[in-house]
Amino acid sequence: MPRLPRIIPAVVTAAMTFCNSLSAEPNTPRRDVAALGPLLVVDRDARTYSFFNEQKGGTGLRGAAFGLEADGKLLRPSEAAELFWQGPGDGRATRDAPVELRMRFDRPKLEWTVRWSILPDGSAAKISSTIENIENDGIKLGKCHLAEVSAERGEVALGGRAERAVALLYSGWHNVGLPRRLAALAPGRTAKTFLQIYNPHSQTALQLGFLTFDRVNTEHRVVWNKEKAKLVVDSYCDFEGYELKPGAEVDSETLTIELSDDPIRSLENWASRAAEHYRPRIWPETPAGWVGWAWVDPFHVERYEDVVRRNAAAIEKKLPGLGVKYIWVSIGNLADHLPGNWLDWNQESFPTGPEKLVADLRRQGLTLGLWIAPFWISDHSPAERIERLRPAMLRRDGTLLQSNERWGMGPGHLLPPDKRPRMFLLDPTHPLVERRLRQVFAAYRQWGVRYYMIDFLYGISGSTPGTYRYDDYHDRSVIPGPELYRRGLKIVREAAGDDTYLLSSTGPTIQNVGLVDGARVGVDYGDGRPLTREDYFYPGTFVINNPAFWTSHRPATNAMATSFFLHRRLFLADSGNLLTLDKPCSLADAQISATIFGINGSPMMLGDDVDRMADERLAMVKKCLPRLPEAARSFDLFESPEPDYPKLFYLPVETAWDRWDLVAFFNYGSTPRTADMDLKRLGLDEDGEYVVWDFWNERYDGVCRGTLRLTAAPYSVKFVRLSRRCPHPWLVSTDMHVRQGQAEIEDCRWDSESMTLRFRARRPVGERGNVFILAPPGWEAADPRGLWLAKDGRRGSQELIVRCLLDFSNGAAEKSIRFAPYQISRKR
């Protein structure tokens, strides 16, 4: 790294010169972030910096400090032996003129360079730094504090009534956290990688988000100081004792700070910036497959291979042409159902062997997928295997780390709970582990496996986040935490092959960017469990009638609300896991599940026994197929802080022939709920008229203007399609897919000369479905044959609702419906 020219520091007070830009309208939603004109100013005297918006009363980050922990000491600029400044004399950083400060310290001897700049689009500040060891000995690095506001120094200026502001402390892994009011924050809470704060009173959204996060643990410590009614924030990356060798240098992670008036847009902006930085490959399709488990116990009741083959045949027969491609076998293929026995095939559960199973599935158009926890090995594994890998296990304080969980699958469930297997954690930096992983995945690849759920990744993630903190691993040139964790994922990615879908689970999420195709951003929605007496599920295999249960609806919609912005930017955000909706799930529960998968855009595995499921519930599964890529946005994430939960989601849909919005209102409570949605916040015309179609009730709900009012019954979902009202007859819904036109309608157009509505639809051969058309007052069907015609009898309506049945005997259906104007009688 070239040396900067020395600049004699002058005592200059940073000039707070404000932008003379266009006046802002603070109540206008979805304003472009750059239009707010935030300023980034470094104060050379105080050695602090501010990022604020003068047009909104100076809201933002004011007087933020920075510091570096090295060899157990906290180094501040005031303690530097020499300071070297570069950049504008008034300290104001711009897109073209960054500010840089190089600090030289004597104890320990190191140089720390901090840089401040504005992103090219003007939307956010960027703070990065480099640490260089000029000592003769190694230096142990701790936290690199890039934005620090304490109770005594600096300010997070959020405008009035800051205690009512809410903060999303991103958990960084599969157990999501929802926004909380600042005044309700528990002391010492931390967010991983990014922190989003929103004050609805001042409409100020402040985000501190690390743009890079692939090497060092990134956190934001947040405290609400009740005595001073002040938010205390510390944004840092933690090297956790990593030793920087003499003459070496290392970059910290890069922090961005954004000010806006829309926290949802800020989340999307952060994810877009991260995607631009990492440029991950995004899997082109949205996978769909089958897992089962909800209603069949393949471990104790029916042989696993028989369950698989029954359902593979049922999928081929009942769900052809809908994109169901994978059969995911979980645990049952392993000898003794034990992690670590990756190449020890379970001949009892799958007697025909892997090669024949794969070949038979391939003939049915299906691909085998497997569950694997690649960095686990059971302490009940063969002794020689454990001894061979013992040098390659993670340790803490000289002791081998083992999982907290006791393994209750397979023969393990017959043992007393305290005698069941535990897992050793394998060190991904050790050559023995790399050799073993490549051997396992090479064998799987030869069999034909092209889908994996790689599980329990928190075993090696350390503080990435994770559960197990290690201090002894093989390659000490690797930084503990994300860099070590990603070393392991990189091995798996390479060994599995680029044509293989990798789904990460039970561990970090965003740190998987570029190395997995999908990330489980929630818990086991829709999942079942074998009939094991000690399990909560027992004596059942599935849990119903509790939407807050960890495999039920509320955790799934929470996951969707807090991860939609990651979807198809960093990876496929798998917020759903399994679609399970067969009886005895109630009809309302089935509708909730189908709605979730209809709008979340995530991969979908089927949890039901397709071979035996009720026809009407199988029809609901079809409404979620094929999978479509877009994910719905949360509407009320920052308006429903804990203990409440997000309930409103919206998904704009655009096709070559029309655009519309889908809105879902989930109610998991025991009383009815009503919600009003401002159409301006959906980007719709506040003066426009929009047709409301209730999907599950197949009901025309009239026209709304300015505000959409929704009412959801207890334990149900209200799911509607909003489309602009047309002056002529137009398609307003279908009953074939939850997206209501995006998957199944290829074209739709109105011919004004012949007064004919023409449309073309496509579904698998043999299917049938309905299209619903709304004709404004004064229109009638010129040829009513084969149509179902209903007049809306509500006072003052006069609209005509038309049902048109489509038969897909040939896979495609085209219809032309002629209409004619008529004179409305006053008696009508």
Sign of CA dihedral 136, 137, 138, 144: negative
Structure tokens given for 298: 């393949």
Closest CA to 263 of 559, 565, 57, 508: 565
What is the arrangement of strands in the sheet containing 787-791, beginning at the earlier edge strand?
A: 730-734, 768-775, 800-807, 787-791
CB atoms within 10 A of CB 538: 12
Q: What does the pLDDT read at residue 307? A: 98
Cis peptide before 26 (omega within 30 of 0): no
The label of the residue with tokens 């999928």 reads 315
Q: What does the pLDDT read at residue 188? A: 81
Q: Which residues pair with 196 in a beta bridge?
A: 168, 207
Q: What does the pLDDT read at residue 16? A: 27
CA distance 493 to 496: 5
The two counts, helices (H) then strands (E), for the chain are 9, 49
Q: Is residue 393 within 8 Å of residue 348, measured between CB atoms? A: no
Structure tokens given for 180: 């909380």
CA distance 543 to 536: 9
Which are the contacts of 526, defined by CB distance < 8 A and separation ≥ 6?
294, 551, 556, 576, 577, 578, 579, 580, 593, 607
Structure tokens given for 221: 């410590």
Q: Is residue 441 within 8 Å of residue 495, measured between CB atoms? A: yes
The label of the residue with tokens 């807050």 reads 548
Query: Is 436 in a helix, a strand, or coil?
Result: helix
* AA letter at 229: A
Q: What does the pLDDT read at residue 36? A: 45
- Max distance between CA atoms of the chain, in angstroms, equals 98
Structure tokens given for 176: 């999501």
User: Chain-centre distance of CA 812, in angstroms?
Assistant: 35
Q: Is residue 691 within 8 Å of residue 745, measured between CB atoms? A: no
Closest CA to 196 of 633, 562, 630: 562
CA distance 246 to 110: 10
Q: What does the pLDDT read at residue 19? A: 28
Q: What does the pLDDT read at residue 667? A: 98
Q: Is residue 374 within 8 Å of residue 488, measured between CB atoms? A: yes
DSSP, res 213: -
Which are the contacts of 100, defined by CB distance < 8 A and separation ≥ 6?
4, 85, 86, 87, 113, 114, 115, 116
* AA letter at 246: P
CA distance 590 to 15: 61
Structure tokens given for 436: 């073993």
CA distance 608 to 526: 9
Q: Is residue 813 within 8 Å of residue 806, measured between CB atoms? A: yes
Q: Residue 767, exposed/middle/buried by CB under 10 A (0-12, 13-18, 19+)? A: buried
DSSP, res 182: G
Average pLDDT of adjacent 10-residue blocks, the chain of 828 residues: 31 28 31 59 97 90 98 97 96 94 97 96 94 96 98 93 93 90 90 96 96 98 92 97 97 97 97 98 98 95 98 98 98 96 97 98 98 97 95 97 91 88 97 98 98 97 91 96 98 98 97 98 95 91 96 97 98 96 98 98 98 98 98 97 97 98 98 97 95 98 97 98 98 98 98 98 97 97 97 90 97 96 72
Q: Is residue 237 within 8 Å of residue 252, measured between CB atoms? A: yes
How far CA 224 is from CA of 62, 126, 187, 189, 257, in Å, comes to 16, 25, 7, 10, 20
Q: What does the pLDDT read at residue 384? A: 95
CA dihedral 336, 342, 345, 349 (to 10 degrees): 50
With both helix axes pointing from N to C terminus, report the angle between 553-561 and 587-599 in degrees, rounded to the nearest 10.
Answer: 20
Q: What does the pLDDT read at residue 11? A: 28
CA distance 332 to 303: 9
CB atoms within 10 A of CB 419: 10
- State which H helix or E strand residue 380 sits in: none
DSSP 678-714: EGGGGT--TT-EEEEEETTTTEEEEEEESEEEEEE-T
Q: Is residue 701 within 8 Å of residue 693, measured between CB atoms? A: yes
Q: What does the pLDDT read at residue 2? A: 33
Cis peptide before 508 (omega within 30 of 0): no
CA dihedral 443, 446, 449, 451 (to 10 degrees): 80
CA distance 424 to 403: 7
